[in-house]
């Protein structure tokens, strides 16, 4: 079974996302609500996949993605965002997310991403 962590500052979005993942037989190990929690949870659990929102107060998704890349450059981090600004896209491209999907997300796209990226486990390198 594929393991995942879901991070978003909107608790309702987290709940819905977790429900979708569970319907797709993904084992959600933890949830968090800011970028700092994302890094801590990734370091603690080392999931197969991380679903990460970009726009969050204090510690955002860019912070989390940068730190997770330091821990494991091969981590599978799927960015889930409503922010389609060019500057965000440029900053994201430097941090090399595994995929970017836009809110509102399509469950069919989510299923395809899990099938594409959920097959091999990455390991934490530090």
Is the residue at 126 inside a domain? no
CATH code of 35's domain: 3.40.50.2300
Is the residue at 58 inside a domain? yes
**What's the pTM value of the predicted model, to 2 decimals?**
0.89
pLDDT digits (tens, 9 = 90+) for 77-115: 999 988 777 777 777 788 889 999 888 888 898 999 999
121 confidence band (pLDDT: 50, 70, 90): low
Q: Which pair of tokens denotes residue 62?
A: 């860019």
DSSP 55: -
Give the residue numbers spanning the domain of 84.
Answer: 2-117
pLDDT digits (tens, 9 = 90+) for 24-79: 999 999 999 999 999 999 999 999 999 999 999 889 999 999 999 999 999 999 99
| CA 116 vs CA 24, 28, 39, 98: distances in Å | 13, 18, 23, 11
Number of domain units in the chain:
1
Is the residue at 86 inside a domain? yes
Provide, for the chain, the percentages of residues in helix, strand and coil under a 3-state DSSP scheme, each rounded to the nearest 5: 45, 20, 35
Dihedral sign of CA atoms 14, 45, 93, 9 in order? positive
Is the residue at 125 inside a domain? no
CA–CA separation, 80 and 101 (whole Å): 5
């Amino acid at each position: 079974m594929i393991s995942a962590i879901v991070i978003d500052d909107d608790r309702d979005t987290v709940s819905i996302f977790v429900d979708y993942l569970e319907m797709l037989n993904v084992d959600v190990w933890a949830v968090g609500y800011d970028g700092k929690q994302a890094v801590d949870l990734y370091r603690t659990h080392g999931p197969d996949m991380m679903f990460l929102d970009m726009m969050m107060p204090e510690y955002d998704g860019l912070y989390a993605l940068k730190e997770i890349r330091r821990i494991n450059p091969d981590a599978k981090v799927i960015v889930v965002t409503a922010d389609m600004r060019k500057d965000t896209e440029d900053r994201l491209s430097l941090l090399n997310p595994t995929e970017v999907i836009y809110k509102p997300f399509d469950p069919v796209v989510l299923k395809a991403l899990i099938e594409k990226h959920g097959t091999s486990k990455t390991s934490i390198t530090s």
